[in-house]
Structure 1
């Protein structure tokens, strides 16, 4: 197996285990056994479990940056700022709900050392810069109701975390209406979509009404895998 393929395999297995078990409960030996590669080979490529985590997170950051830019580039240039923010918010939430591992990784990081937490709340990175420019454009044209992006981001994280980590309760919420998980996820997403649509005064014609959330997830290639984890 080529060196790059080996590194990708190790990161994929480690990411799955970090999400499923939590960082603290996973050892390099655990990763070695599940990946089918030697303990020493993992040490050779990464040095430590912490460095594996940072490598995974670096790829996640790069992917999310590319995905966000793709979402914004897909919208016509003359799209009003309120519609851009609406589309960005609801489509990003759809992505995070469908591809759950990133929010699971982030949630686990919140329980770890402060350096892990700080890594995910960097407010000066390129992603934040791109989004803040969009928020500034919105606030210029809606000075009477300025947007606090931190609050919107917090709402998005709460909805994403609920879908990723409380699936039994989510399914129980709509058990009398449907037993289909995809349908439940759409209903969960729709609660957020309705709040955002009202917040940004989105016309009915501009609102999204997917039958399943996968329809809102864009295919964006990245250096590691087609999706981040």
Structure 2
């Protein structure tokens, strides 16, 4: 079906080969791609090359990853480079705003949370973590609900109002982000660490962890461009 690839850059050539196969009808929209090992064997490349090729096509909205399930064809035509970069820039802008709002909110929450806040934060985190295999749109809603409980625990009405003003945009961009970047293995631990810092009243740690987590997302997005 596909010729073995022998020249660099391997990941780009692998991505193009997969794209050609999709365009030729080997896989239709909605079909699941073979596993990494099968694709790597067929193309004559390593699994890391296949992962990079898939990441490139996810960024171009041809493929979509479903956590714990596999990789599926989302479209036949790739998003052109200009639109892809514009989309990545829009998501990055939102992440930067989240850094400004949520890192400070986490610090304030560590000093002002009450028993009601603790219950809400804990419940929202459990709900979020129970749905990491959900669709990007569903997980995005639950993720932002969780982060809102932390902002609410800061007990700063203006900060919460600001968060709520941009909340629809946060959900939209988070959904798109989850389409581009599958949930990392350390994701649940990262969120739990922030909650632990807030509940322990460690404002400095809560702020630092929140900032680090969000900047990590920005870094991953930068790698896609």
Common fold: TM-score over 0.5: no
Which fold has the larger relative contact order, with Cα–Cα distance below 8 Å and residues 6 or more apart in sequence? 1
TM-score by length of 1: 0.28
TM-score by length of 2: 0.28
